[in-house]
């Protein structure tokens, strides 16, 4: 960056690079998946029209189950990684930072498991 | 009062479009995080059968919740998505960075064009004219 001939030090781990890349890739995928989801569920249908029967009908096709699984996984990992970055930005005490991230990852795990469980095991 | 002064200083820091874009991205992102947690957990309740699931739908069908979808969730996701596209574009084609402020203005025009008809459709359906 500067003309002093100094080289920016290479980070010890490439985790942040993969994190950055994942956010971009999941963003592009979600623009399509979430874009259509919101368009269809809120504009073509409406919140009032959605009930057990509608979702059950949707999951009679493996396509929509996979669609929902990918949407939920990408969205929730993107969300979790976003909150991790927010914690890094605002929580400077190491103990609190570890504590907040532990809760975040535990919560992320529970939500992914619950969501995937229903998408794959649901029987009408 | 001090908190308000801090807040005012933060939002009037002279970062212009880039700062506003970043702040809105963070606020909408955090908002979507909380909604999405609720949403995945409510869909999980599908596994307990129609009686339980449909009996809890009153929560999503109440007027205040639908209002918060129209004026909170929907514009929040729309902004986060559009701004995300701009961020991705600038990251992959760094030359666009010189035009980031103009791109943000274009993005906000797209936001208004997409949001207004969507909001009208959702508000009309709230009053049963869908």
What's the pLDDT at B86?
Answer: 96
B91 vs A: CB within 8 A: yes
Greater model confidence, B4 or A20? A20
For the question of an ipTM over 0.90, the answer is no
Q: What is the pLDDT of residues B12-60, one digit of tens each?
A: 777 788 889 999 999 999 999 999 999 999 999 999 989 899 989 888 8
The domain limits of chain B are 10-126
Q: At what angle do helices A94-121 and A62-90 cross, to 10 degrees?
A: 170
Query: What letter would DSSP give residue A61?
Result: S
Confidence check: pLDDT of A68 > 90: yes
Q: Identify the sign of the CA torsion A33, A107, B28, A42.
A: positive
Q: What is the pLDDT of residues A24-36, one digit of tens each?
A: 999 999 999 999 9
What's the pLDDT at A11?
Answer: 79
User: Read out DSSP for B59-91?
Assistant: HHHSHHHHHHIIIIIHHHHHHHHHHHHHHHHHH
Q: How far apart are CA A60 and CA B14, in angstroms?
A: 53
What's the pLDDT at B29?
Answer: 96
% of chain B beyond a pLDDT of 90: 67
Confidence check: pLDDT of A3 > 60: no
Q: Does A75 sit within 8 Å of B46, measured CB to CB? A: no
% of chain B beyond a pLDDT of 70: 98
Per-residue pLDDT band for B96 (boundaries 50, 70, 90) equals very high
What is the average pLDDT across A98-107?
A: 97
Which of A59, A77, A82, A116 would you mutate first to test chain B, the one with the most B CBs within 10 A? A82
Cβ partners under 8 Å of residue B87, min gap 6: A27, B25
What's the pLDDT at B14?
Answer: 74
Query: Distance of CA B19 to CAs B11, B13, B101, B104, B109, Å?
Result: 8, 8, 10, 11, 18
Q: How far is B90 from chain A (nearest CA, A)?
A: 11
Confidence check: pLDDT of B62 > 70: yes
Extract the tokens encoding A117. 């469980």
Q: What is the mean pLDDT of chain A?
A: 92
User: Read out DSSP for B28-57?
Assistant: HHHHHHHHHHHHHHHHHGGGG-HHHHHHHT
Cβ partners under 8 Å of residue A108, min gap 6: A76, A77, A79, A80
The per-residue b/e assignment along B41-61, b for 16 or more CB within 10 angstroms, e otherwise, is eebbebeeeeeebeeeeeebe
Q: Is the CATH number 2.40.30.40 carried by domain B10-126?
A: no
pTM above 0.80? yes
Q: How far apart are CA A82 and CA B3, in angstroms?
A: 25
Q: Which candidate from A34, A43, A47 shows the least CB-CB separation from B77?
A: A34
Q: How far apart are CA B7 and CA A14, in angstroms?
A: 35
- Inter-chain contacts counted by CB atoms under 8 A, chains A and B: 91
Q: How far apart are CA B80 and CA A75, in angstroms?
A: 12
Q: Does B81 sit within 8 Å of A34, measured CB to CB? A: yes
Greater model confidence, B5 or A96? A96
Q: How far apart are CA B13 and CA A92, in angstroms?
A: 22
């Amino acid at each position: 960056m500067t003309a002093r001939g100094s080289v920016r030090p290479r980070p010890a781990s490439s985790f942040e690079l993969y994190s950055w890349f994942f956010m971009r890739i999941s963003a592009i995928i979600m623009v399509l998946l979430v874009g259509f989801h919101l368009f269809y569920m809120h504009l073509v249908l409406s919140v009032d029209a959605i009930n057990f029967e509608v979702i059950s009908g949707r999951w009679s096709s493996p396509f929509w189950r996979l669609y929902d699984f990918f949407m939920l996984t990408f969205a929730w990992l993107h969300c979790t990684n976003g909150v991790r970055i927010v914690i890094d930005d605002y929580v400077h005490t190491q103990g609190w930072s570890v504590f907040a991230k532990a809760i975040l990852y535990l919560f992320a795990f529970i939500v992914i498991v619950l969501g995937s469980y229903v998408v794959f095991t649901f029987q009408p | 009062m001090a908190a308000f002064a801090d807040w005012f200083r933060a939002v009037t820091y002279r970062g212009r479009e880039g700062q506003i874009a970043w702040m809105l991205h963070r606020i909408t992102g955090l908002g979507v995080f909380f909604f999405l947690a609720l949403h995945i957990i409510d869909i999980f309740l599908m596994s307990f059968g129609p009686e339980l699931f449909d009996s809890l739908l009153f929560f999503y069908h109440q007027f205040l919740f639908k209002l918060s979808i129209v004026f909170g969730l929907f514009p929040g996701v729309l902004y986060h998505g559009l701004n995300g596209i701009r961020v991705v574009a600038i990251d992959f084609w760094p030359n666009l960075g010189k035009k980031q402020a103009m791109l943000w203005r274009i993005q906000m025009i797209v936001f208004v064009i997409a949001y207004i008809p969507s909001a009208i459709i959702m508000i009309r359906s709230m009053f049963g004219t869908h």
